[in-house]
Structure 1
Amino acid sequence: MSTEDRGPVFDGVRIGRPATGALIDAGYRTIADLPERLEELLPLHGFGPRAIELLAQARRAGR
């Protein structure tokens, strides 16, 4: 079992605990690690459209 924090924040963006856990389980650690097309993440259990929008906003803001 991982001791890594799986709270609601992923790389400084509050996307929620399920979405954060889904990204960590899939091997992502930072926004820069994510695929160009964030929609590719939708099949991840616990990851939804709201998380995509929040991460897209973060990208546009230069995070």
Structure 2
Amino acid sequence: MLNLVIMARCLNSICADNHTVKGDFLKGIIAMPARRALEKEKIDTLEKLSCYSEEEIRNLHGFGKNAMEKLKNHMNKYKVSFKNENFEIKS
């Protein structure tokens, strides 16, 4: 029984380390699952976020309707937008 308690404590600290977001990007704006999804894609600034389409971000695991709405409101506040999927460069 003691071994199980020790093992559980070890696993708990490993899980906590693996699931923490290292930076403060969007802290207090969107929930942790969405922040982790952005961190996994190495998106840690609004500038990097603007290189993605809304659909690409929405398809990340951890992004739902609520997180997307909050993210879009935050981006509008700083006059940043998602990449336009319909924009085509014609030569």
Q: TM-score, normalised by structure 1?
A: 0.69
For the residue of structure 2 that corresponds to 1:44, the secondary structure is coil
Q: Equivalent pairs: percent with the same residue?
A: 30
What is residue 42 of structure 1 aligned with on the other side? 58
For the residue of structure 2 that corresponds to 1:10, the secondary structure is coil
For the residue of structure 2 that corresponds to 1:27, the secondary structure is coil
- Count of residue correspondences: 61
Q: Relative to total residues, which structure has the larger strand share, 1 or 2?
A: 1
- Residues 13 and 62 of structure 1, relative CA distance in 2, 3 Å threshold: farther
Gaps of 5+ in 2: 1-16, 80-91
- Residues 53 and 59 of structure 1, relative CA distance in 2, 3 Å threshold: same
Quote the RMSD (CA, aligned, Å).
Answer: 2.9
Is the contact between residue 15 and residue 51 of structure 1 (CA under 8 Å) also seen in structure 2? yes
Q: Relative to total residues, which structure has the larger helix share, 1 or 2?
A: 2
Gaps of 5+ in 1: none
Q: Which one has more relative contact order, counting CA pairs under 8 Å at least 6 apart?
A: 1
- Residues 18 and 39 of structure 1, relative CA distance in 2, 3 Å threshold: same
